[in-house]
A and B are shown apart, each in its own frame.
Chain A
């Protein structure tokens, strides 16, 4: 340890931070420290590929704190392929993908950012080159290699597959045009290739770095897939309804809603339901975890939750700035005008927010309700 410029004390502190990240008891710190130490010696190889993505999840990953991005990429993992950070380009770069898949079959973690377009033989997303050639401006040049072909090559040898972000997990925004590009979520592609290979979905548009890093550490330390909800999201992060843990819940219950951003009194946080908040139908731990080193989160900035961690984001949650429609609550068809009072009554009657949720709109609850 000391040789790498890390003291024992720093290391234990770091193990403590990891425990906190995973929501584990501090009594497990020595064990985590031991597991982390082991990791440093035999770093698991990671292949991180990008499909119809925007790189937002990679950029978000760089915001990770415990461990930070440099520690993860250099000390804890062997990131062999990541198109946004790796030194190599062209043949050299995709050569690494092919070689790792062959040499370390059964050992690597496959991270997929962005979904997979399948229409037109997969040509809506290509990277690297095939063996066959085609003519290009008078030359014979190897053809572009579709992502679908890469998936066929990389999925069977993966020890674990992580679909990072809402697009990879559920299709996200590109899937709203699935009729044209044939966009599929990673888990649907994997099902076609290796039926029983588990896919861990880390939702969010983008994914919170803790959701990803916590899941990876959990997997590496405990050598198992973490407990997942019915959408294959780790329950540790997606098990709670935003609305239940929101700092503005008291305003909601009291029927105090923001209607013009100028009205917002910085000292009195009004509920954003009427501004379109999707917190009542969204499972994620944003209210407690917050974003960017805990600096803020969406509702904290007086903006409605857009439900970006839900499988139904974006298409089925639009319009984003309109209140959830026709809330049918306790058999009474209410509107945002009266909702607060009804909810307050319900809370007093001891009825949980899950019930409220279940009555909202046409959809069954998404995510990790217990």
Chain B
């Protein structure tokens, strides 16, 4: 007999997310993803000075303000006709990269790892490593005091990593990772003043000139992080992926085979060449990466609390008119679609687009970077096996996040070398009377787009479609599920009290809800209830 399980709050993500799953015969039969918090960032920008958008949209999300600030800057650059100096482009790449590092580390160790590691097993550690013994002492102290918050309570499962040695190493890395991501934030602070909510990017460029000393300070921290990513983060992912009980997660949790990447990290002044290429994939046909066309983006609101007039619009003329309590709606998120299709965005989308271009020879062998890395880690057989099965699930999502982290961190060293102290960092332009702009970038969680309409030198309309709106979207007009909803289908849930696989799957997308529900409209008449009753 089918049963409904509601998980609210889904913790260890950013923001307020509820997941409802219908479970039958120990498997997920259907799923609904709902965003349950609503603020209103875009609308308060109406009538404001266009430059404010950069600071205000950063506050959409405290985990990656970098991405919003950067998207807003490119958006404004576009609207103002800025010719971005190389130094500014490189500093933006470097800081965006540093944010990928801090965000990916935070995600794996602090948001996801507790789904796989049995913290309680640490008390059984019997080895002689001094650092690990200290970790054991700490956890034993917590257990003795009967105060194991925030590690317990948790969903119970018999497949946690409970080997004392391995569990202790991983818990030790959890603590180390806190210091590592702090270093990545310091790296950002060098060029951008502070984190979170940085100040060093402005429309037209950046505020800090590269100097010998800030380059050196940045590089010293980068070197330490690169060492740690190679020797700890990537290795831990491989270790977890090697646990026999987790083998089903290579294919379980696949989102339906459609992937979209806007492309990230400009390699030339007009942004045509990207370090992480743009493109999209349908039906898991990885080798056939298709050309991305911005005009094919639309948003559906059939199952979202917005009026039907907002249905099917491109974000440039997007409307956001709430109709709370609307029949059949169950989320504050709209359902963005590309060419009518739900798309997964994020590290997996970016890495599959890159892999597809490399495998099909569209990137020449001497310029390839992902497949050589995959080979050197001994993963190529696994990837090919997944490719033929046509499914990429929970573990590949984590693994590709780690590989991407390494690719970007390595490249940052190259960008540092390209900085030219003394050369321009800023292109001063007047604000036009009327103009449109758009800024498409990649954030840690995926494709992010900002669109602006300037009128009378002020902001007339500002729209953003964020990564989590793609991934955690509800059903669209045709009734097609969003990527997370699809990924949940078929997952084993043997114990309704402990739906651990459901949260494992949801967290593998690294959802960020504050980011996803940032829209609000002043025309808010007669809305009485949010209930879907």
A90 to chain B, nearest CB (A): 4
Residues of A contacting B11 in the complex (Cβ-Cβ under 8 angstroms): 83-84, 86-89, 93
Q: Is the CB of B527 within 8 A of A318?
A: no
Cβ-based interface call for B533 (8 A): yes
Within 8 Å CB of A11, what residues of B? none
Contact B324 A120 (CB under 8 A): yes
Given A125-B37, A173-B41, A53-B62 contact (CB < 8 Å): yes
- Where chain B touches its partner, the secondary structure class is loop
Closest CB in chain B relative to A206 CB, distance in Å: 5
- Residue interface bits A21-65, CB-to-B below 8 A is 1, else 0: 000000000000000000000010000001111111111101101
Q: Is A228 an interface residue (CB 8 A)?
A: no
| Docked-complex contact A173 and B503, CB < 8 angstroms | no
Residues A301 and B200 in contact, CB atoms below 8 Å apart: yes
In the complex, which residues 294-317 of chain B have their Cβ closer than 8 Å to any Cβ of chain A? Answer: none
Would A60 and B196 count as touching, CB distance under 8 A? yes
Q: Number of A residues contacting the other chain (C-beta, 8 Å)?
A: 98
- Does A359 interact with chain B (Cβ within 8 Å)? no
Min CB distance, A127 to chain B, in Å? Answer: 4
- In the complex, A139→B4 CA distance in Å? 7
Is A14 an interface residue when CB atoms closer than 8 A count as contact? no
Which of B149-157, B246-254, B258-266, B394-402 interfaces with chain A?
B149-157
Contact B194 A298 (CB under 8 A): yes
- When distances are taken between beta carbons in the complex, the residues of chain B under 8 Å from A358 are none
B527 nearest CB across to chain A (Å): 7
A174–B202 CA distance with the chains assembled, in angstroms: 23
Q: Are B149 and A80 within 8 A (Cβ)?
A: yes
Is A129 an interface residue, CB under 8 A from the partner? yes
The number of residues on chain B lying at the interface, defined by a beta carbon within 8 Å of a beta carbon of chain A, is 106
Could you tell me if B114 and A87 are in contact, using CB atoms closer than 8 angstroms? yes
Query: Is residue B416 contacting chain A, with contact meaning CB distance below 8 A?
Result: no
Q: Which residue of A lies closest to B182 (CB)?
A: A63
Q: Which residue of A lies closest to B49 (CB)?
A: A319
Residues on the A chain within 8 Å of B114, using CB: 87
B205 adjacent to chain A (CB < 8 Å): yes
Of B8, B52, B149, which is in contact with the most chain A CB atoms at under 10 Å from its CB?
B149
A146–chain B nearest beta-carbon distance, Å: 9
Cα A298 to Cα B20 with chains together (Å) = 43
Interface presence of A295 (CB below 8 A): yes
Within A79-113, the residues touching B (CB, 8 Å) are 79-90, 92-96
Q: Is the CB of B9 within 8 A of A127?
A: yes
Q: Of A4, A62, A261, which is in contact with the most chain B CB atoms at under 10 Å from its CB? A: A261
Q: Is there contact, CB below 8 Å, between B178 and A261?
A: no
Q: Is the CB of A94 within 8 A of B141?
A: no
- B228 located at the interface, meaning its Cβ lies under 8 Å from any Cβ of chain A in the complex: no
Q: Answer whether residue B138 sits at the interface, using C-beta atoms and an 8 A cutoff.
A: yes
Least CB distance from B144 to A in Å reads 10
A106 to B202 Cα, complex, angstroms: 47
CB distance from A364 to the nearest CB of B (A): 24
Write out the residue numbers on chain B whose beta carbons fall within 8 Å of the beta carbon of A301.
Answer: 189, 191-194, 199-200, 207-208
Report A75 CB to chain B, min CB distance, Å: 8
Q: Which of B162-170, B335-343, B420-428 interfaces with chain A?
A: B420-428
List the one stretch of A152-160, A302-310, A332-340 in contact with chain B: A302-310
Which among A130-138, A184-192, A217-225, A239-247 touches the partner chain? Answer: A130-138
Given A55-B62, A139-B4, A173-B41: A298 in contact with B202 (beta carbons within 8 A):
no
Give the complex CA separation of A143 and B200 in angstroms.
44
Which one, B8, B30, B185, contacts A63 given CB within 8 A? B185
- CB within 8 Å of A: which residues of B? 4, 6-16, 18, 20, 22, 30, 32, 36-41, 43-44, 48-49, 51-52, 55-56, 59-63, 65, 106, 110-111, 114, 119, 133-134, 137-138, 141-142, 145, 147, 149-155, 175, 178-179, 181-182, 185-186, 188-197, 199-200, 202, 204-209, 211, 217, 324, 330, 424-426, 428, 499, 503, 514-515, 520-522, 524, 527-533
Residue contacts A-B, CB under 8 angstroms, 7 given: A56-B197, A68-B179, A78-B147, A90-B499, A301-B193, A301-B199, A314-B59
- For the complex with contacts A121-B529, A260-B426, 4 further pairs of A-B residues with Cβ separation under 8 Å are A79-B149, A85-B12, A90-B8, A298-B194
